[in-house]
Structure 1
């Protein structure tokens, strides 16, 4: 997430500033968008590869990326809606657009290398073998055009950059070893499952909230993949006792490991974006937290309603009607949530209206987790429509 923010933020943040977004809003949007990158299939970062080894019963890479599609689409749909609704009245200085164009051979090389990596993973190769074969393919294909042909000094640069990039991961993994040792010696690792399981058995929501808080706190300052590995190691043995679909439970941990990147006070992605936008660290972190709010709601949605992951409550294939109903209600809930986050819904919203829209969003997104889904959905829809009607009438009277 930090690397994504640092790379794309150098041109997206100036573009948003030139479009009229406030500095902290531009930084927050970039941080939220970059943090979601690892949630989007088919490349979901190292965490997805770790799931191949950790999730029990075992799952395939194709199952993981298939299950992750709908939540990822909903996450970015909400972010797109938030950007659309966000107030852009503030004038900002123009910024020059960075030249990010790729030559046609380089673009073709990138696309085919990406496609081969996905193909090897879907076939069933291990991540190490898939990456190795893709690298070999890149070297061979690059030789066919002068602009992409690798020379001896290019290999040295590649080796140097790869080594430098690996240092942070090695250091993070070493930190995980230290944290794991501390957790083991202090007994926290043994007590954490002992606290979560009784809570989840009496109240699943409280158990999930504690699991979320543990993941976010332990994930602060760590790469999301390392955070997932740490949490899966600590609470993996008890996930089966929560009565959840195993893949849904692991994706729950993975999502909140990523959301720790936009959760103050240690929101590394937001802080990286703030340095580019030259905005306040904490204001940018809070903005990123608001814009990524749906990323905190979606894990609860797909854990309680695994149809969002194209899974049934037993882990098999769900009925198409259940999938469509769950997607429709969750997508409908995103609209009032985006309005509440931005404070705009046809016109600026009061605090009371924003709270009402948050309640409406909750009714819609979690309707299928209630005893009577359609009554809950109806309450949420009526509440949102009522607020929209009142705002429309107020604007006309003015």
Structure 2
């Protein structure tokens, strides 16, 4: 990786620390650093071993996973911000020992726990209570207060359900019973979220760590520059492309913003984009990476487990909406560049596609391999394992990308470190799921939303959208999906919305919370790099992401967009009409198509675009007529200006 890339990334480390709790870690040296490295490497080796030899019993696999995770979290993330970052505080050493020991209690007394079949002894109760508190503390340190606050409120709801008025009331759960459910069953902390984390997600994160070692990040940026850097508003289009590519392997919107935004945002500002728009472009493009198959911020694996729909169908269904999202962002960038008269970069300043592909094109082989293996029916865990091996092998094909044994060992360590945020988030999300399964809160919330909407599907969708955005604020992708699918999705299922469409709907709006004010962390990170107003940046990002606010409504009303019961011709028709429709909506939002638009023209383009995005022959024809009408009005305006200019 070039010195320039490393230096620029380092310059924005403070921005990542400000907006992403996962970067707020210790930088150790000496003996303590070696201890942490040894634990992290052992953690990665354990997962590689189970990927090769087979996963252990669910509770044992997940307990070991959580034991490693909690130990590393307490060693790497200080309890207090003012504590030194170059050494481990004694208090955190105690926390680390407890974090490692408490999950091991399940392994040591596994047979006894099975034979007791749910009966919780005093010792079980004490250990389980400590474990719950440790999980909450670990989540606070790595992920931040939002998810801890939500989980704590759920625990209070479980304990004091009798005192809650109205439809959400329940009989209440005694603390020992709640602790037993949350820690000694596979419906709480050791539920599906951490189960997926302990199998698929960890290996994909490890895969991403090895790709980073090969210089994949710099390769994506150079490739995007070569493809789009010369076009109108080139740097902004580079941001869209590079962030979309990085999103295929990245699990964090904020980290993606800082990783690619370090280069693209300054380039956009130099070209002439306003700081708020530059930050918004990067934030919107980076957030879209969580919606982009094949990984979707690791939520695709969780969605497959929750819905019992095959992983291949999940990523297949996500393709068209994700492409429409990025096409919408691209359209907004292009129209803004045309409106401002911004040109691209000089081709002499840009890398050549042929040179990039010849020198580093082999780095794409692991991505091709993982997609091929998944489509061929390999389990995500096996696909990730082979992808890790192929990333190492591919790097050896060229001297400039070759990674050494030291790089491989460092990749094992970095992969384990990168997984800590997901571990803390999924364990904490398990607390939420455990409360929901014991109290039936999901169905209660669903009934409440449907009742509030008086059975109207559109209103139910609107209220579910607001709920998902609120629940998704400041929460990482995996936990975000767990929370929204547990709390908000039941309302849509009660309205007979297809399972996949319901889960995709809440997933989309949970992710869009990253760029939706008032808590738009990705937009705020972009604003930090651009030195822009955070709120204005968030508003600009929301405008650019207009497709993400529209498409979920469309695929609920017509699931054919998710490839549900659709023909090949139907897919082609949906893609063509949706692309034209997104151009119409994008021009309405930008206020420009081939010239500045009047208020009436913007209304015409917006309605026409919406009708075209909505699948159906009648809506397509009506939308096309409106867009043609709007285009004619634009052309007449230009002709009138030409005539006036010639007369003057």
Normalised to the residue count of structure 1, the TM-score between the two structures is 0.83
Report whether the alignment pairs 1:34 with 2:279: no
Q: Using a 3 Å threshold, how does the CA distance of structure 1 residues 151 and 279 change in structure 2: closer, same or farther?
A: same
How many corresponding residue pairs?
Answer: 387
- Given that 2:279 and 2:530 are in contact with CA atoms closer than 8 Å, whether structure 1 keeps it comes out as yes
Q: Using a 3 Å threshold, how does the CA distance of structure 1 residues 199 and 325 change in structure 2: closer, same or farther?
A: farther
Cα deviation for residue 175 of structure 1 reads 4.6
Q: Using a 3 Å threshold, how does the CA distance of structure 1 residues 106 and 175 change in structure 2: closer, same or farther?
A: farther
Tell me the distance in 2 between the aligned counterparts of 1:130 and 1:349.
49
Q: Using a 3 Å threshold, how does the CA distance of structure 1 residues 104 and 245 change in structure 2: closer, same or farther?
A: same
- Given that 1:61 and 1:122 are in contact with CA atoms closer than 8 Å, whether structure 2 keeps it comes out as no
The equivalences for 1:198-347 within 5 A come to 198=451, 202-237=455-490, 239-312=492-565, 318-347=566-595
Report whether the alignment pairs 1:377 with 2:623: yes
SS at match of 1:222: coil
Match of 1:363 in 2: 611
- Given that 1:363 and 1:379 are in contact with CA atoms closer than 8 Å, whether structure 2 keeps it comes out as no
- Given that 2:450 and 2:456 are in contact with CA atoms closer than 8 Å, whether structure 1 keeps it comes out as no
Cα deviation for residue 287 of structure 1 reads 0.8
The one of 20, 24, 47 aligned to 2:299? 47
Q: Using a 3 Å threshold, how does the CA distance of structure 1 residues 177 and 391 change in structure 2: closer, same or farther?
A: farther
More moved, 185-194 vs 340-349: 185-194
Cα deviation for residue 359 of structure 1 reads 2.9
Q: Using a 3 Å threshold, how does the CA distance of structure 1 residues 105 and 175 change in structure 2: closer, same or farther?
A: farther
The equivalences for 1:119-198 within 5 A come to 119-142=372-395, 147-177=400-430, 189-198=442-451
Which structure's CA Rg is the greater one?
A: 2
Q: Using a 3 Å threshold, how does the CA distance of structure 1 residues 284 and 207 change in structure 2: closer, same or farther?
A: same
- Given that 2:269 and 2:278 are in contact with CA atoms closer than 8 Å, whether structure 1 keeps it comes out as yes
* Greater RCO, CA 8 A, separation 6+: 1
Tell me the distance in 2 between the aligned counterparts of 1:273 and 1:28.
7
More moved, 167-176 vs 339-348: 167-176
Q: Using a 3 Å threshold, how does the CA distance of structure 1 residues 204 and 397 change in structure 2: closer, same or farther?
A: farther
Report whether the alignment pairs 1:80 with 2:80: no
Q: Residues 205-255 of structure 1: CA distance to partner in whole angstroms, max 9, x if unpaired?
A: 111111211111101111223211222223455544322232222222222
Report whether the alignment pairs 1:396 with 2:646: no
Q: Structure 2 regions of 5+ residues with no counterpart?
A: 1-252
More moved, 175-184 vs 255-264: 175-184
SS at match of 1:202: coil
